[in-house]
Amino acid sequence: MTVTGGVPTSAQALSAAADTAVRLLPRGDDEPPVTLPRDPAREAARRELSKRMYHENDPSWFQRALDAFWEWVGKLFDAASTATPGGTLGLIVVIAAAIAVLGALWWRLGTPRREPASVPALFDDRPRSAAEHRAAAEAHAAQGHWNQAVRERMRAIVRALEERALLDIRPGRTADEAAAEAGRALPAHTDRLHGAARAFDDVTYGGRTATEQTYRRIAELDRDLERAKPQLAGSGTLSTDTRRGAAG
C-alpha cells in the first residue's frame, strides 16, 4: 500500500481503526487478546475513519471536480488520437487544419452579425432636402467620419429622386426599397444603387465601418444620378427637365 499526502490509504486506515477498536476493549492482565468478529470490527473502523483528523488534507470539492474534468479530457483525447490516422500527431494536424479553416472564414466573412428583426426607415423624423443631406455628408467626410458621411449621402440620393418625382415621398421607406424602386426608373444604375443601399445598411445596422473609398463611390453615384435621364414604363426615355415639368 502507498501513502498519499501523509494520510494512510483506505485499507491501511481500516486495519488500523479495527486494531484501535479491539485494543479499547477492557481485559485483564492475564487474559488473552480479545478479537472481534469481522462485521463489528468493520463498523468500529468506519466510526474511527469518520473522525475529522483523517480528512484534514482531503482535496476540496472544486479540486475533485477539476481532477475529474481533466481525467475526462485525457480519456477523450486518447480516444480521438487512437481513432485518427497517425495517432496523436495526426490529431494535432487535424485540429490545426480546422483552426486554419475557421480563421480563414472569419477573415473572409467578417464578424457574424445579427440581422435586425425589422429594417428601420431610411430617414429620421425631421425632413431635410437633398442639398442639406449633401452638405451634412461633406461635413462628415471632411472630418473623416465615413460612416456618417455614407448615411447622409445615401439619404441625399433618395431625397433627390423624391424631389425629381422619380420616387414617391413615402415615410418608412428603407434603403433597399428605395434602390429597387429607383432601379426601375434608372435601370442603367440599378447595380450601383443596390451597392449603395448595402453600404448604408452595413454601416447603419450591421456594425461595419465605412471607408473613404465607399463614400467617394456613393458620392459619384449621386452626381451621376443628377444627370441621368429616367426610363419611364411605356414612354421611352424622358429627359430630366421634361420629367420635372410633368411633376409640377
- Tell me if 4 sits within 8 A of 57, measured CB to CB: no
Identify the residue with better confidence: 165 or 15. 165
pLDDT above 90: percentage of residues in the chain: 32
- Is the C-alpha dihedral spanning 245, 125, 183, 150 positive or negative? positive
Whole-structure pTM value: 0.47
Residue 238 reports pLDDT greater than 50: no
Average pLDDT value for residue range 110-114: 53
- pLDDT at residue number 25: 47
- pLDDT at residue number 228: 87
Residue 182 reports pLDDT greater than 70: yes
Average pLDDT value for residue range 30-39: 61
Residue 29 reports pLDDT greater than 50: yes
Rounded to the nearest 5 percent, the helix, strand and coil shares of the chain are: 65, 5, 35
Nearest Cα to Cα of residue 130 among 106, 99, 104, 162 = 162
Neighbours of 161 (CB within 10 A): 23
Nearest Cα to Cα of residue 233 among 166, 160, 178 = 166
C-alpha cell, 9: 490509504
Identify the residue with better confidence: 100 or 165. 165
Per-residue pLDDT tens digits for 56-108: 677 778 888 888 888 887 777 777 667 666 666 666 777 777 788 788 777 76
Domains of the chain, by residue range, sit at 130-247
Per-residue pLDDT tens digits for 125-149: 567 899 999 999 999 999 999 999 9
Q: Cell 473613404, residue?
A: 212
Residue 222 reports pLDDT greater than 80: yes
Residue 197 reports pLDDT greater than 90: yes
Instruction: State the chain's maximal CA–CA distance in angstroms.
Output: 134
